A = this chain, B = another copy of it.
């Protein structure tokens, strides 16, 4: 059975050495997050993920969820107890405000826990994950009464949340949605319609499920400007706050999916269900974006989580499986064959995953830290810079970390040969589970368009300029450091490719928008390579410094430097191919008439 060890030590190195987490202790909640406290929290979270969630991953996949005839849904054996342990540990409210029962700690720590959770058991992690998205939307857009009614119970984990966007005929294009909301005399609304692909839409883990639902108020404009957000609890809430009468929303069926079997993906039927408007009428899409950005970052983290757990299990197998001899002569002459980790092609595969994981983890933490600054700083300029970063990086984190996360799960599975294809080994599940992260919360093609069409040009390209300036400043500052030369040279080349690609878009996409569309996915990955390369340069700087100061074991820091050089020599050069594709433009992409396909 596969196993999982949360990379606590690596996270602490990133937080303390690379990003100087302590520097931010002027921000609310950060003062409580001293290195010792952070270490203790992460160890506790790691234990939960390693000992409770991970052991349920394979069995959860095999058992799946079951919908009973009465519309209730049963989660796999052990999930309820695991959920109680998760909720009881206070993890749901880790970064939620204290007034609703949360611990008010930095969101950055929550992101770390998201990685651990989704690596240990992605299908499980989605139950609290969706709840956190729903809480975020209520926190920002809900009325005081709504917050008081729902948040404390969600923070303690007694109730969970969902996001209801997709309908059978519309996912990406929400302007087409048909679910209707008819005003009731008491100020509530009656909602009627069908929502599909609702993760955690129905289950047996919590006493109540709080659905956030996009619908169109009778008479509202067509398209996206007539969409409103509603909160629709599964059980109406009594005046004393307890769950009361059953609301008119039910699970019509659950989907048979490629993966995440242990998470119920529901068709939700709204038959005159009572709901309450969240935020302003017809501004529902805006309110939903709060959830969506948070969710997109979380999904990127899921991609990293699957990549990490798949890597760990591939390493264990590669050290254990004896097959063939090293090209340079037997390494385990006492055994019938060498462990396959001696083979360069196996190493190449493992190093590729590792070199991604460490940099991706840094990118996640860097971005999560910006989210904290954006939400908690009292300096408007600092907030703006952080928001710029968040806006720019959200599609990159979502798109690149899930595309690569999936590829890495596949590569890790490949290390097992035929055994990787057999379900009981668990590697197939990582591939099947990781696959959804490229699809949900905006398929990755949509992320790429969001980056190229919206985030990049916004405010005259301010966010991108800031990103490039930061890399340039870092490179200048460290230009004299010999140990960083193997990092700064390739990084500069990749930045050059990114600049050329950006310039090409500026010159060619305005007149011909198809040029932007045809370039989008390659641009997103080019940008991802540069961002990951920059992360490696920063990790290398901190590793060199830590080595000089005698912090940490030299072998571990040397391994970081070697892994970073692997990235710089073998992975970042891909920017050249990405640039070539981008500059090729849309002509051959759009050349065929549709009927010739």
Q: Does A555 contact B (CB under 8 A)?
A: yes
Contact with A555, one of B259, B445, B589, B593 (Cβ below 8 angstroms): B593
Q: Does A491 contact B (CB under 8 A)?
A: no
- Given contacts A351-B589, A421-B439, A573-B580, are A344 and B517 in contact (CB under 8 A)? yes
Residue pair A344, B589 in contact (C-beta under 8 Å):
yes
A563 CA to B587 CA in the complex, in Å? Answer: 11
Residue pair A517, B322 in contact (C-beta under 8 Å):
no
- Given contacts A345-B448, A513-B328, A570-B584, are A417 and B596 in contact (CB under 8 A)? no
Residue pair B576, A173 in contact (C-beta under 8 Å):
no
- Given contacts A257-B423, A424-B256, are A171 and B417 in contact (CB under 8 A)? yes
Q: Does A315 contact B (CB under 8 A)?
A: yes
Contact with A414, one of B323, B327, B444, B597 (Cβ below 8 angstroms): B444
Residue pair A439, B418 in contact (C-beta under 8 Å):
yes
A592 CA to B560 CA in the complex, in Å? Answer: 9
Residue pair A597, B344 in contact (C-beta under 8 Å):
no
Q: Does A566 contact B (CB under 8 A)?
A: yes
**Chain B contacts for A297, CB-based, 8 A:** none
Residue pair A518, B418 in contact (C-beta under 8 Å):
no
Interface SS of chain A: helix, strand, loop or mixed? helix
Residue pair A173, B337 in contact (C-beta under 8 Å):
yes
Q: Does A432 contact B (CB under 8 A)?
A: yes
Residue pair B323, A255 in contact (C-beta under 8 Å):
no
A258 CA to B513 CA in the complex, in Å? Answer: 41
- Given contacts A173-B323, A439-B414, are A445 and B346 in contact (CB under 8 A)? yes
Residue pair A573, B577 in contact (C-beta under 8 Å):
yes
Q: Does A404 contact B (CB under 8 A)?
A: no
A72 CA to B350 CA in the complex, in Å? Answer: 40
- Given contacts A170-B323, A257-B423, A445-B345, are A514 and B328 in contact (CB under 8 A)? yes
Q: Does A591 contact B (CB under 8 A)?
A: yes
Contact with A350, one of B196, B414, B574, B597 (Cβ below 8 angstroms): B597
Residue pair B345, A520 in contact (C-beta under 8 Å):
yes
**Chain B contacts for A345, CB-based, 8 A:** 445, 448-449, 517-518, 520-521
Q: Does A166 contact B (CB under 8 A)?
A: yes
Chain B nearest CB, measured from A140 CB (Å): 26
A324 CA to B224 CA in the complex, in Å? Answer: 11
Chain B nearest CB, measured from A567 CB (Å): 9
- Given contacts A348-B518, A418-B197, A577-B573, are A431 and B258 in contact (CB under 8 A)? yes
Q: Does A482 contact B (CB under 8 A)?
A: no
Q: Does A565 contact B (CB under 8 A)?
A: yes
Residue pair A589, B255 in contact (C-beta under 8 Å):
no
Q: Does A361 contact B (CB under 8 A)?
A: no
Copies in the complex: 2
Chain B nearest CB, measured from A485 CB (Å): 15
A558 CA to B118 CA in the complex, in Å? Answer: 48
**Chain B contacts for A590, CB-based, 8 A:** 344, 347
Chain B nearest CB, measured from A166 CB (Å): 7
Q: Does A133 contact B (CB under 8 A)?
A: no
**Chain B contacts for A563, CB-based, 8 A:** 588, 592
Q: Mark A431-456, 1 if CB is under 8 A from B, else 0.
A: 11001101110011100110000000
- Given contacts A172-B323, A439-B414, are A573 and B569 in contact (CB under 8 A)? no
Nearest B-chain residue to A520, judged by Cβ: B345
Residue pair B592, A559 in contact (C-beta under 8 Å):
yes
- Given contacts A421-B436, A589-B344, are A336 and B176 in contact (CB under 8 A)? yes
Q: Does A284 contact B (CB under 8 A)?
A: no
Residue pair A348, B197 in contact (C-beta under 8 Å):
no
**Chain B contacts for A172, CB-based, 8 A:** 323-324, 417
Q: Which residues of A contact B (CB under 8 A)?
A: 166, 169-173, 176, 196-197, 255-259, 315, 318-319, 322-324, 327-328, 336-337, 339, 341-351, 354, 406, 410, 413-414, 417-418, 420-424, 428, 431-432, 435-436, 438-440, 443-445, 448-449, 513-514, 516-518, 520-521, 555-556, 559, 562-563, 565-566, 569-570, 573-574, 576-577, 580-581, 584, 586, 588-594, 596-597
Task: Supply 21 A–B pairs (Cβ within 8 Å), ascending by A.
Answer: A171-B323, A172-B323, A256-B423, A257-B428, A319-B594, A327-B513, A344-B520, A345-B448, A345-B449, A345-B518, A351-B592, A406-B410, A418-B440, A555-B593, A559-B592, A563-B592, A565-B588, A569-B580, A570-B584, A576-B576, A576-B580
Question: With contacts A414-B439, A556-B596 known, what are 6 further pairs, Cβ within 8 A?
Answer: A172-B324, A173-B322, A339-B594, A421-B436, A569-B581, A576-B576
